[in-house]
Amino acid sequence: MMNEIYENYNHLIDLNQYSVEQWDDMLRLAADIKRNPRIYENSCIGKIMGTMFYEPSTRTQMSFQSAMLRLGGGTIGFVNPQTNSSVAKGENLKDTTKVVSGYCDVVVLRHNLEGAALAAAVNADCPVINAGDGGHLHPTQTLTDLMTLKEETGSLSGLTVGLCGDLKNGRTVHSLIKALSCYKNNKFVLISTESLRLPDYIQEPLKAKGAEYYEISSLEDAFEEHALDMLYMTRIQRERFENVWEYRSQADKFILDTEKMKKAPEKMLVLHPLPRVNEIAIEVDDDPRALYFKQANYGMYIRMALILQTINYELNNSPVLIGELRDDLECRNMKCITRAETYLPKSFKKSVGESGDIYFCEYCEESVVGI
Ligand code: CP
């Protein structure tokens, strides 16, 4: 089975670089690994994965490490660059990536700035996997979510999906919506406060695909008005707010507890990328619809599949940046990697809007203004 479904994967920055058929192949491989782990236990002997985590992580970091160890490979890396890497001495992302990618067969990067994974890929000598770039994307969490849905519902199409919480800053939400909108007849119910609505650049793919979606501000209304197959709860992303007061004004607006679960559809699965803070009461853990711990476990198997599909191929030579290189444009997103790593080529993608051409930063996908 392994040889039949391997594809030549390279960097994984955004899942939408690859086709739905390739995601489906990876989901099948992950399911096979879960069923037959012994077959794969020596698949990565002699291979090394480097983890560069500029932001804290439990699940992503440890599931990647566990995945590589279960495939017979080894791991190196840092989880706190300010105490155990030369980032503390002022080394930039380019130099760190260039060096670490020379020691490894694959680099897994988590970074606080948006577009950092693409920026690292520009300078890497081995494939780079995006393990979360600021509030932008988190494609391996999405693979985890897709595997959970596929294994638990049998399908990734025709689903009514509720997403609740910090839809503005939640990178897991962004990646998941982009992915599920590529499957047929999925409907989205976006539950948030006005301030934490889904950003325009994630609404665009929904509109482009003609996906049905609703923006509402109450969990109870969501349960009453929509037959949700899945509710994806998310944490309010405290680290993305300007100050603690802004965060507090948004915290604890949506809490899923047993009372609300009584009003929820009988078969509605509850997923959460975790960590949770307060948005799902602990008592909900005993509800058979609560799948978030099982979901975290699926994450290890899908990362095993991703490592296999990434590591057994040479890095191909296709260019990493495919936009227009424009020195007369500047990304206006203060959290974009191009603001901190100013040596990066400024690259933009063009889209034709109603009032003329719109340029989007290739790294973080924010629309831009000329300078
Ligand atoms: N879901 C997720 O990304 O969790 P960690 O931040 O613990 O990796």
CA of 358 to the centre of ligand 1 (A): 33
Checking if the pLDDT of 262 tops 90, the result is yes
Give the residues surrounding ligand 1 with Cβ less than 6 Å away.
57-61, 132, 141, 273-275
Whether the Cβ atoms of residue 181 and residue 238 lie closer than 8 Å to each other: no
Q: In what order do the strands lie in the sheet with 269-271?
A: 212-216, 187-191, 160-164, 230-233, 269-271
Query: Which H/E stretch holds residue 162?
Result: strand 160-164
* % of the chain beyond a pLDDT of 90: 81
Burial of 347 (0-12, 13-18, 19+ CB in 10 A): buried
16/140 Cα distance (integer angstroms):
12
Q: What is the pLDDT of residue 6?
A: 36
**Mean pLDDT across 42-61:** 97
Q: Which of 329, 294, 278, 341 is nearest to 111 (CA)?
A: 341
What are phi and psi for residue 77, nearest 5 degrees? Answer: 150, -175
Q: Report d(CA 190, CA 14) in Å as an integer.
A: 21
**Residues of the chain with pLDDT > 70: what percent?**
96
pLDDT at position 3: 33
pLDDT at 183 over 50: yes
Ligand 1 atom nearest the C-alpha of 58 is 7
If you measure from the C-alpha of residue 133 to the centroid of ligand 1, how many angstroms do you get, rounded to a whole number?
12
- Average of per-residue pLDDT values in the chain: 92
User: Ligand 1 mean position to 284 CA, how many Å?
Assistant: 20
Q: How much distance in Å is there from the Cα of 353 to the middle of ligand 1?
A: 36
Q: What is the pLDDT of residues 125-145, one digit of tens each?
A: 999 999 999 989 999 999 999
Q: Whose CA is nearest to atom 6 of ligand 1?
A: 57
Q: Mean per-residue pLDDT for 286-292?
A: 98
Arithmetic mean of pLDDT, 6-12: 63
Q: What is the mean pLDDT of residues 350-354?
A: 77
Catalytic residue among 47, 70, 136, 138: 138
Q: Can you spell out the DSSP letters for 2-58? A: HHHH------BS-GGGS-HHHHHHHHHHHHHHHH-HHHHTTTTTT-EEEEEESS--S
| 329-331 and 269-271 beta bridge pairing | unpaired
pLDDT band at 7 (very low <50, low <70, confident <90, very high): very low
Does the pLDDT of residue 316 top 90, yes or no? no
Over residues 62-79, mean pLDDT: 98
Known catalytic residue: 59? Answer: yes
Catalytic site includes residue 60: yes
Residue nearest to atom 4 of ligand 1 (CA): 59
Give the pLDDT score at 157: 97
Q: Which atom of ligand 1 is nearest to the CA of 132?
A: 3
Catalytic choice (110, 168, 235, 339) = 110
pLDDT in tens, 145-177: 999 999 999 999 999 999 999 999 988 999 999
What is the model's pLDDT at position 235?
Answer: 93
Active site residue 89: yes
The string of pLDDT tens digits covering residues 228-246 is 999 999 999 888 888 999 9
Buried/exposed code over 300-329 (b: 16+ C-beta within 10 A; e: otherwise) = bbbbbbbbbbbbbeebeeeebbebeebeeb
pTM: 0.93
Average pLDDT rounded to a whole number, residues 172-198: 95
Locate 326 and state its tokens: 């424009």
Q: Is 174 a catalytic residue?
A: no
pLDDT of residue 352: 77
Task: Grade residue 114 by pLDDT with cuts at 50, 70 and 90.
Answer: very high
Asked about 28 being catalytic, the answer comes back as: no
pLDDT at residue 1 above 70? no
Report strand pairing: 187-191 vs 212-216. Answer: parallel
**Cα–Cα distance for residue pair 231/214, rounded to 1 Å:** 14
Tokens 């693979």 locate to 143
CA of 275 to the centre of ligand 1 (A): 6
Which tens digits make up the pLDDT trace of 195-235?
999 998 899 889 999 999 999 999 999 999 999 999 999 99
- Are 253 and 193 in contact by the 8 Å Cβ rule? The answer is yes
Residue 370 confidence class, pLDDT cut points 50, 70, 90:
low
